[in-house]
Structure 1
Amino acid sequence: MTKTFLIALLVTLSLQTTAQTSQWKNLFNGKDLSGWKQLNGKAKYSISKGEIIGTTVLNEPNSFLATKEQYGDFILEFEFKVDSTMNSGVQFRSESMQEYQNGKVHGYQYEIDPSKRKWSAGIYDESRRDWLYPLDLNPAAKAAFHQLKWNKARIECIGTNIRTWLNDMPAAHVVDAMTMKGFIALQVHSINNKADEGRIIHWRNLRIQTTHLKPAAYNNIFVVNLIPNTISDAEKRNGVSLLWDGKTTNGWRGAYKEKFPQKGWEIKDSILSVRPSAGAEAANGGDIVTTKQYTAFICQFDFKLTEGANSGVKYFVTENENTEGSAIGLEYQILDDAKHPDAKLGVVGNRTLASLYDLIPSLREPRARRPIGEWNRGMIVVYPDNRVEHWLNGWKVLEYQRGAPYFLALVARSKFEKWPNFGMALQGHILLQDHGNAVSFRSIKIQELN
């Protein structure tokens, strides 16, 4: 076998391998809408110069031009250009079934958002769970969107990992298993204002890979993991770990105690719950705290309320006060605002759900609130410079800075004014409150920040 022949053979094999690993398929033939069907609203879809053009129609619901084929694992790329006020999106792993809201399209959406909030490439759950990954979780990606110009989008769905890019910048990363297969659809948003009639959005160069998929290298953007009590590989790279292992009481003890309470708390089906009790709080199991203390961190937790329930997640708990009842600390309030009287106490709603208890009210964003009995996603972020954020179901609902003059003034006017340097400890425990009401927790995670 000659050297020339060997070289030719290697080149041929290399070309075959390249072809196998880059099998892109066009979703749009550039001429007609073969392979697509329109769902829900009656917005206009047309073709011009190899582009699909969506045009708004007054008083029509959200409209979707959907692929007839369904896709599970894939890499999708496309380009889009939008009017300056035209909110839109691209659905993926989405469904339309008569038994679900009379065929309403629902599922994951790659957001196209030219508004001032700049959430393009965030992940929205259309007609289902609302925002999964708003770009407030990755502010650097907001600058990637080009107003009135062509933008390049990329979506990777491989297993439970859902990732997006905008103009080659990593934008969002969600881990979820709710829907593993579905159609892809181009959205024209509903409008109710005559001035918005005739707004257009352009799509072109829609192509997809479904075989020999190779995910992009991991980056360090924040990951939203919706699979209970799990840590994904990307989260591990970011330094995220389970604060509660989903099985035991390891890493936790009773507040002011050496061991975990023998009553009042229950671990069942990977859920940590406060058992309801009648009478005084002293008869309960009592608050529980982490055995470790934390300084700057991201603490994530899922919680579920029962009707009329009251609880909280406290941080910078030092146990120095040796109070009777609940230990003292800054508190992310967990409350049934409609049925518990505490919601009407305090000042301007500063004892309502996700508020900094008795100090700062949370944003009253209706879309951030779930019905009683459904799981909620809470998050507390404490930065090294003492900035703090409260999040609820993907929405940032509160932010403040420990030690700022307004913070100290609020403390001086609150029930905490009698404790010197309240909320200003350099480090402290994280606490789950037993208020005698049935409340459940899961997916409690921590990421320490430097």
Structure 2
Amino acid sequence: MIRNITLLLTAAAVAHADPTPLFNGKDLTGWVGSGYEIIDDAIVCTPKGRNLMTEKQYSNYVLEFDFKLPPAGNNGVGIHYPGNGNPAYTGMEIQVLDNTAKKYEKLKDYQFHGSLYTLNAAKKGFLKPVGEWNHEKITVNGDKVTVELNGTVINEANLAELSKAHPKHQGVKRRSGHITFCGHGDRVSYKNITIDEIVKETPKPAAPAEEVTAEGSGFIKLYNGKDLTGWIHGAGDLEHWKPMGEVIHYDGKSRSKEKNLWSEKEFGDLVLYVDWRWAGPASKQLKRPLLDPATGETKLDENGKPILVLVDELDSGIYLRGNNRSQVNIWNWPGGSGEVYGYRTNKNHPQEVRAALTPKVKADNPVGEWNRMIITLKGDRLTVNLNGKTVIENAQLPGVPEKGRIALQHHGSELEFANIYIKEL
């Protein structure tokens, strides 16, 4: 029997790329939006200006720029913006504001210049007089956000802590997205805009447990660490399902008729041991249900309506015995990975069956970190252990085939797999 194993992650080294201009001083190449114009080598918000965002998404970086405020000027810098909704809530907005204006004298602390709107207040008193150019540096690195104004750090925030304090705020949970100027119709100006991306070494999976690799353990490698020998893939998919040393990297972009990666061999009763991690940002956000593990149903609010949570849509899974119904889901949903969606949502099955296939706890590590999943399927009984926690225990899969291939699922998300071992029972 395999003991619960907690995945230890290799610390990521950090390096800086060269600063890159985000604005060429002439036009809005690289930006998307309207209501902004170019005046004297600066981007200026017009009375119709709202959101102006970078075409590219960013994760960890140092953003520097000069800005000038008119009297009572109000704008903002959105970070981790997904490209839809209000940047202050679907992403996070760092205030750009003339604090001296009389109309703002009764603002809440988190509304003043340099504050993370609704989340974290900045120090006041470091803006230059209205009409003069200020210099600001915003550093975004994982959970840490720092705002420096004219040489003084005025805001330091820990997003993980803020996420716990503000559980309903969706943007504070994000770790990548567009950079956005958040216009409110005031003629705020920006120039000398540069970004210095912080390049983090790709995290490496931990070594597999000794009880898996030991001689006589009964485990065999399903991925040899070199190529896709033993796997079936669609035509042209070596560009997408790509062996990269100890990991298989999937870019989420297969265009084959069969986009999943299948084992050549069929398996019946087994223990499957696999590490996985999300290797790229989500392309969209969607509302997903908050599940009740006791029933397998969506939880309801005080008005009897389903509770849906806006999440970064990341999705994959592992097919067992050759079909997608008996799929152990890997995703970023509120209930966590390990769910067997094809059974949980099938109301032809008794509720106790569907409830047992709902994760008992969300055991996923933060997006970008490695997860270790141990799947045991014996007869029609399934147990799933994720990062040392049993999320599915001895749950029944009525009618599951006796034997079939394993598949790593395509669902449009970029991810990696490593340490894929299997023991037949």
Fold-level similarity (TM above 0.5): no
Asked which structure has the greater RCO (Cα within 8 Å, sep 6+), the reply is: 2
- When normalised by structure 1's length, the TM-score is 0.36
- When normalised by structure 2's length, the TM-score is 0.38
More strand, by proportion: 2
More helix, by proportion: 1
